[in-house]
Structure 1
Amino acid sequence: MSIQTEVKTYLNFVNGAWVASSSEQVDASINPANKHEIVGYVQKSSLEDLNEAVAAAKTASQSWKKLAASARGEYLYKAANIIEKNLDDIAETMTREMGKTLPEAKGETARGVAILRYYAGEGMRKVGDVIPSTDNDALMFTTRTPLGVVGVITPWNFPVAIPIWKIAPALVYGNTVVLKPAQETAVTAAKVIECFAKAGFPDGVINMVTGPGSVIGQGMIDHPDINGITFTGSDTVGKLVGQGALARGAKYQLEMGGKNPVIVANDADLDLAVDATISGGLKSTGQKCTATSRVIVQSEVYDKFKEKLLAKVKDIKVGNGLEADTWMGPCSSESQLNTVLSYIKKGKEEGAHLVYGGNQISSEALANGFFVEPTIFDNTTNDMIIAQEEIFGPVLALLKVDTIEDALDIANDSKFGLSASIFTTNISNMLSFIKEMDAGLVRINAESAGVELQAPFGGMKQSSSHSREQGQAAIEFFTSIKTVFVKG
């Protein structure tokens, strides 16, 4: 574990330079494992700072979009290599700032490197098709044109992967970017942007402005020179982003919440199902949009599954994510801890049976952090708040059903539709699940959390604006199709 020797102040990155906010104010970023440790200070920016960043991005977009896509990809390769060289430092900063364990933070940072390399290669792929014309003397084809300036608003739970999976396609497809990272993890974001700066991107192509969502986020929504906004966060805020962008005709992309079910059939490999439920639901302290939240188990194996689940959950080591034996870190902030505890209280009040956990951890070693026990409820019904609302914490609600049809009905009884899993060896169950599950990501005999970077990612219902991120699907948001008709 590293020893903090100084507390650095991190600046905004605007038009190729590191600059302080015009507000002359900063926010402290706190280590959730030790609230007395300040990871760094970040700018509490004003609309004036945002306007400067957008102006720089708008100016830079004129030359950036004219650059060959393969040349834009070369910049992404350079950024990937620099991030890879700084992986340990970025990952440790992420753990200190957000709380996830160091192995998870290293894995996420490595994923960011892979995403950059993937999209660097996109610069060499096709962007259109030749279409037959009814005019025999004409040529008709499609090409793609960038949106222009893209505003990127990202959450605190994946402070490296999510910004990069938005920034990388935006850039390679010819857009310029203004990033507003979550204030809670803005130090990590600054370290990532430092790598982009070292890669030599032209001034104004990539910019970062930190500050409160009510100022910088709302400013992006309202800004006439931001042509597209890509957002990941809560469904409540996402709807405001979409409404504001729509009102002025900007393109928008929203990835929001989930209440992700796992179905355990009576023919499932229970050990596999238990391991995946724990990994999907409790890693990163349950703070993933794809985290398992509802565990829907057929009655024949319910008691056996619960017994195996409890036995393994009881062995989970909760602690500082920098410690080698820690399996689950703290909640990301005091606010998030209080939210999780409030949902646990609601679950008990509604009549769900708390079978494990449910308390803030106040032992001497962890007293200064925002730690909560992994928590399991049973006797849960799907109309309970803990089965309907996104908790974003290490809370699993077990539901008992008689048939797979009942399981699918309950799994779909949610306003969300992001990810879902089933554990079964029965082909008929698998096919029914694939066909009937209302989710953008469905996984068979695998945890609900996780998606491969080359595959489209996004949700149904209120989990998404029905667009898709990652893979080659990203081109659909970050560009517009232009149809070209040429007659000699």
Structure 2
Amino acid sequence: MKIQKMYIDGQWMKAISGQTRQIINPFNQEVIATVAEGDESDTKAAIAAARKAFDQGNWTKTPATERGAIVRKIAELIERDKEELAELESLDTGKTVEESRVDMDDIAGVFRYYAELADKDGGEIIDSPIPNTVSKVVREPVGVCGQITPWNYPLLQASWKLAPALATGNTLIMKPSEITPLTTIKVFELMEEAGVPAGVVNLVLGAGNTVGAELSRNVDIDLISFTGGIETGKKIMQAASINVKKLALELGGKNPNVVFADADFETAIDQAMNAVFFHAGQICSAGTRLIVEETIHDKFVDALVERVTNIKLGSGFDEETQMGPLISAEHLEKVEKYVETGKKEGAKVVVGGKRPEDPALEKGFFYLPTIFTKCTTEMKIVQDEAFGPIITVETFTTEEEAIKLANDSIYGLAGGVWTNDLAKAERCVAQMRMGTVWINDFNVYFPHAPWGGFKQSGIGRELGKLGLEEYTETKHILHNLKPEPINWFK
């Protein structure tokens, strides 16, 4: 099998060590690719290339309109190769091809959005209290960026980092998840085709404890952007303190989905499922904490169980499949442990709670959609991000109790409120400590709106204008038009 290579300083190359890694299809555990397995040596080579390209190259001096044109070209190439990319993404992650096709449209949209923003910020003239001076504020690229992406949405998360970094004139090294690198490799081919200069974008494949650790601690890296788990995020923060790197961290969530009795019942049921079971619950914004007004609890759970029982599991390439497998054997075991913990804590499984018995699914990392009732906030299953197809159900009787439950978490990424009382909805969202709150909707995002969390869900924002600003430094320039001696010291 051909070895997929890394991309460093404009060249496709094997790992210096010669090591490789096999990439596994989570549906049937077949080997779908062999890729180079980099380590600290490869990472240092990529950092050196990016540093040279930033300090000595022409990318930062390239007019913003030209950078924008290249970013726009990348979007066009993604659209051209949409079907190939979608199939690779589904092979890599196990999600349905239809989900992956939607992802590719979103990814092209991200590149197109930042292409349009590239030349829109020419700085700001501000009033100066000093006569005969001009005072202005400009934004400049932050420098060499280390970008670490997760396995659940490999190319989507990569696009959130690549597009704004390129539009603002930075250079970068990207480390995709070692278990889902295939679409990222492909998009680096497309960036090369689009004309991104050598050294500006670099791709190192490998594990977090080698490649990711080197990116985090290396003093030639000016910014680390990481999407992933909270414990890894804490380690990155510690390592980045060596040279006080700029940080952009998205560390997941345990997201509440609050349903009041006056909500549209059928829509709330449907969206409660959509909030969790897309991509088998492996979504940082999944609405895994369902918080339902007590008067409709039994009716709501019964309806939810009926719908969940009918979810079709299978291959992402089967048009009838609605939910694919989990990403790996290790992650499947983690989800199983959370379910067992929930049972011991006193939560009740009303549907799912085990692997499927269908022989056609036995080779894959499948887990049945699961609902827990009788949940309370102190339970581990309620507080921890299990990252699987699990809903926990809590109840409330008053608006104040609903808000208190929703905020009872170390996380603050996203949440939802379902009610036909608009005043109630606005009161709730004003008090919910989350970066994104949906009213009568869930898991909706687009490139124009910022994405990120409160509390331990992270630092900084991706997407929107704020996502662009993460990749810049602000510089104040004061120009004295009539310099004269001050004569303070005589």
Same fold, TM exceeding 0.5? yes
Equivalent residues in 2 for 1:75-154, closer than 5 Å: 75-154=70-149
- Counterpart-to-counterpart distance in 1, 2:286 and 2:192: 33
Q: TM-score, normalised by structure 1?
A: 0.97
Q: 1:173 aligns with which of 152, 159, 168?
A: 168
- Counterpart-to-counterpart distance in 2, 1:116 and 1:127: 20
Contact 1:298–1:404 (8 Å) recurs in 2: no
- State the 1:168 CA deviation: 0.6
Amino acid at match of 2:312: K
3-state SS, counterpart of residue 181 of structure 2: helix
Equivalent residues in 2 for 1:409-424, closer than 5 Å: 409-424=404-419
- Counterpart-to-counterpart distance in 2, 1:292 and 1:421: 8
3-state SS, counterpart of residue 396 of structure 1: strand
Match in the other structure for 2:53:
60
- Counterpart-to-counterpart distance in 2, 1:432 and 1:74: 43
Match in the other structure for 1:44:
37
Amino acid at match of 1:21: A
Equivalent residues in 2 for 1:448-459, closer than 5 Å: 449-459=443-453
3-state SS, counterpart of residue 179 of structure 2: helix
- Counterpart-to-counterpart distance in 2, 1:476 and 1:75: 19
Contact 2:342–2:380 (8 Å) recurs in 1: yes
Match in the other structure for 2:402:
407
3-state SS, counterpart of residue 71 of structure 2: helix
Unaligned runs of 5+ in 2: 482-490
- Counterpart-to-counterpart distance in 2, 1:453 and 1:258: 20
Contact 2:154–2:180 (8 Å) recurs in 1: yes
- State the 1:128 CA deviation: 2.1
- State the 1:98 CA deviation: 0.6
- Counterpart-to-counterpart distance in 1, 2:188 and 2:245: 25
3-state SS, counterpart of residue 65 of structure 2: helix
Equivalent residues in 2 for 1:299-448, closer than 5 Å: 299-447=294-442
- State the 1:126 CA deviation: 1.5
User: What do the CA deviations read for 1:370-415 (whole angstroms, capped 9, x no partner)?
Assistant: 0000000101111111100001000000111111211111110100
- State the 1:81 CA deviation: 1.1
Contact 2:219–2:242 (8 Å) recurs in 1: no
Question: Aligned pair 1:32/2:59, yes or no?
Answer: no
User: What do the CA deviations read for 1:281-305 (whole angstroms, capped 9, x no partner)?
Assistant: 1111000100011100001111111
Q: 1:72 aligns with which of 67, 71, 86?
A: 67
Between 120-129 and 274-283, the greater mean CA deviation after superposition:
120-129
Q: Cα–Cα, structure 1 residues 450 and 333, in superposed 2: closer, same or farther, change >3 Å?
A: farther
3-state SS, counterpart of residue 371 of structure 2: strand
- Counterpart-to-counterpart distance in 1, 2:444 and 2:221: 30
Between 58-67 and 152-161, the greater mean CA deviation after superposition:
58-67
Contact 1:39–1:187 (8 Å) recurs in 2: no
Match in the other structure for 1:4:
none
Contact 2:142–2:472 (8 Å) recurs in 1: yes
- State the 1:123 CA deviation: 1.6
Contact 2:417–2:429 (8 Å) recurs in 1: no
Contact 2:107–2:159 (8 Å) recurs in 1: yes
3-state SS, counterpart of residue 64 of structure 1: coil
User: What do the CA deviations read for 1:91-130 (whole angstroms, capped 9, x no partner)?
Assistant: 1111111111111111111111111011111122024211
- Counterpart-to-counterpart distance in 2, 1:149 and 1:107: 31
- Counterpart-to-counterpart distance in 1, 2:157 and 2:368: 27
Unaligned runs of 5+ in 1: 1-6
Task: Provide runs of 4+ in structure 1 moved above 3 Å.
Answer: none
Match in the other structure for 2:281:
286
Match in the other structure for 1:8:
2
3-state SS, counterpart of residue 144 of structure 1: strand
- State the 1:38 CA deviation: 1.0
3-state SS, counterpart of residue 248 of structure 1: coil
User: What do the CA deviations read for 1:424-455 (whole angstroms, capped 9, x no partner)?
Assistant: 011232122111101010000001x2321110
- Counterpart-to-counterpart distance in 2, 1:176 and 1:388: 38
Alpha-carbon RMSD: 1.0
3-state SS, counterpart of residue 81 of structure 1: helix
- State the 1:137 CA deviation: 1.1
Q: TM-score, normalised by structure 2?
A: 0.96
- Counterpart-to-counterpart distance in 1, 2:429 and 2:349: 32
User: What do the CA deviations read for 1:236-292 (whole angstroms, capped 9, x no partner)?
Assistant: 001111121123211111100200000010101111111111001111100010001
Between 239-248 and 269-278, the greater mean CA deviation after superposition:
239-248
Contact 2:269–2:303 (8 Å) recurs in 1: yes
- Counterpart-to-counterpart distance in 2, 1:341 and 1:98: 19
Amino acid at match of 1:484: I
Question: Aligned pair 1:484/2:477, yes or no?
Answer: yes
Between 411-420 and 354-363, the greater mean CA deviation after superposition:
354-363
Match in the other structure for 1:235:
230
User: What do the CA deviations read for 1:120-143 (whole angstroms, capped 9, x no partner)?
Assistant: 111220242110001231111100
Match in the other structure for 2:186:
191
- Counterpart-to-counterpart distance in 1, 2:278 and 2:93: 13
- State the 1:26 CA deviation: 0.6
3-state SS, counterpart of residue 354 of structure 1: strand
Between 40-49 and 261-270, the greater mean CA deviation after superposition:
40-49
Match in the other structure for 1:205:
200
Match in the other structure for 1:268:
263
3-state SS, counterpart of residue 470 of structure 2: helix
Question: Aligned pair 1:216/2:211, yes or no?
Answer: yes
Contact 1:90–1:109 (8 Å) recurs in 2: yes
3-state SS, counterpart of residue 326 of structure 2: coil
- Counterpart-to-counterpart distance in 1, 2:325 and 2:295: 35
Amino acid at match of 1:468: R
Match in the other structure for 2:457:
463
- Counterpart-to-counterpart distance in 1, 2:31 and 2:446: 34
Between 201-210 and 304-313, the greater mean CA deviation after superposition:
304-313
3-state SS, counterpart of residue 78 of structure 2: helix
Amino acid at match of 2:255: N
